[in-house]
Amino acid sequence: MTLKRHQKLTPAGLLYLKILVISSTRIGDAVLSTGIIQHLAEQHPGAQFTIACGPVAEGVFTRFPSLHELIILRKRSFDRHWIALWRRVVGTKWDLVVDVRGSLISFLVRTKRRAVMRGGRRKGHRLTHLAGILGLNPPPLPVAWTAPADQARADTLLPAGPIYLGLGPTANWIGKVWPAERFVALFTALTAPDGPLPGAKAVIFGGPGENERALAAPVLDSIPGAIDLVGVLSLPEAAACLQRCALFVANDSGLMHLAAAAGTPTLGLFGPTPASEYGPSGRCAEFVAASSELVPIEDVTLDAAIEGARGLLGLSPYIPAIPH
């Protein structure tokens, strides 16, 4: 067998492939891209993956077992971050470049094959668009990679015994935020003696920063004994903690996508953002949406959320929920 200079043999005698993935700046989009990345890793054992992403999404990929290098793409003026990325990757001859950003970088490096996302907004779910660049149908579900250290942290924060109900009352835009008092009322209804999760403990998730803390505060203050995990977890730790929840109800957010990828029964709440494009994707995931994308999230009633949660808890966690 003749090897090219950039290839090496694995212990099993297979070729190492060099795969470059240009992923997203946002957590939710990055999580959705994990399905095709995991698919490639399973199809090409021993492949070395270099992944470029934004700093906020870094934790989505840090525990990926086949990760060779993670390049953090920090935005610079006049798009100079793309020049910096090109300088980092141009010296390698790649076997495959997967570009979910549709950037010019994909066409400015040497590679045997390119899989590039077509630009512009289109109908259909983002997950199917991502799978389409590799010709995959049905699309592979997103995954959440964790390490033993993340699981150990989750064991400490959410020890075995109680039933945990996770709530995600934050988002990166106020228009996505369901009223805090409805999160509290939903928790009360679901954990009542005649509810589907009687006696469950509330776990409040949120990202770092003052805005996330402010959005979560009314819910934390209104639920006695709620476990506060706002801004204290890395993304792999959050995934491990979410896996310990019997249910996660959240606004459209990166944490919503991470929970669905982690296999947690996940109910997303959608107002003016399109659930048809960004609904949660996982083995047990659903959404409740406002009547149209033109009305605020307050249009999602408490009764609709309760009904959605009850229906979701009746699903088998092994039935994939793949949006179309």
* Predicted pLDDT of residue 1: 22
The one-letter amino acid code at 310 reads R
197-238 pLDDT, tens digit per residue, is: 999 999 999 999 999 999 999 999 999 999 999 999 999 999
Question: Would you say 282 and 261 are in contact if contact means Cβ atoms under 8 Å apart?
Answer: yes
* Predicted pLDDT of residue 3: 27
Q: Is the pLDDT score of 9 beyond 60?
A: no
* Predicted pLDDT of residue 316: 40
Average pLDDT over residues 306-314: 94
183-208 pLDDT, tens digit per residue, is: 999 999 999 999 999 999 999 999 99
Q: Report if pTM > 0.85.
A: yes
Average per-residue pLDDT for the chain:
91
Given the candidates 2.30.110.10, 3.40.50.2000, 3.30.1330.60, 3.40.1500.10, the CATH classification of the domain at 18-132 is 3.40.50.2000
142-180 pLDDT, tens digit per residue, is: 999 999 999 999 999 999 999 999 999 999 999 999 999
R_g of the chain, CA atoms, integer Å: 20
Of 79 and 48, the one with more pLDDT: 48
* Predicted pLDDT of residue 58: 98
- Is residue 48 classed as helix, strand or coil in its secondary structure? strand
Average pLDDT over residues 266-287: 95
| Alpha helices in 195-234, H assignment, sequence order | 210-222
pLDDT bucket at 79, cuts 50 / 70 / 90: confident
* Predicted pLDDT of residue 56: 97
For domain 148-313, the question of CATH label 3.40.50.12160 is answered with no
* Predicted pLDDT of residue 291: 86
Domain ranges of the chain: 18-132, 148-313
Q: Is the pLDDT score of 10 beyond 90?
A: no
Distances (CA, A) of 319 to 137, 145, 263: 17, 20, 11
The number of residues making up the chain comes to: 324
* Predicted pLDDT of residue 120: 66
Answer yes or no: same fold for 18-132 and 148-313. yes
Residue partners of 226: CB distance under 8 A and separation at least 6: 201, 202, 203, 204, 219, 220
DSSP string, 59-119: HHHTT-TTEEEEEE----GGGHHHHHHHHHHTTS-BSEEEESS--GGGGSS-BS-EEEPPP
Question: Would you say 153 and 190 are in contact if contact means Cβ atoms under 8 Å apart?
Answer: no
* Predicted pLDDT of residue 123: 84
Of 251 and 10, the one with more pLDDT: 251
* Predicted pLDDT of residue 294: 80
Which candidate, 177, 324, 322, 171, places its Cα nearest to that of 261?
322
* Predicted pLDDT of residue 321: 44
Distances (CA, A) of 268 to 65, 93, 191, 221: 28, 41, 19, 22
pLDDT bucket at 292, cuts 50 / 70 / 90: confident
Which candidate, 73, 70, 114, 64, places its Cα nearest to that of 94?
114
* Predicted pLDDT of residue 293: 79
Rounded to whole angstroms, how far apart are CA atoms 30 and 47? Answer: 20
Which candidate, 34, 296, 25, 302, places its Cα nearest to that of 173?
296
DSSP conformational letter for 124: S
Burial (Cβ within 10 Å: 0-12, 13-18, ≥19) of residue 89: buried
Going through 140-242 in order, the beta strands assigned E by DSSP cover 164-168, 201-206, 227-230
Average pLDDT over residues 113-118: 93
pLDDT bucket at 315, cuts 50 / 70 / 90: low
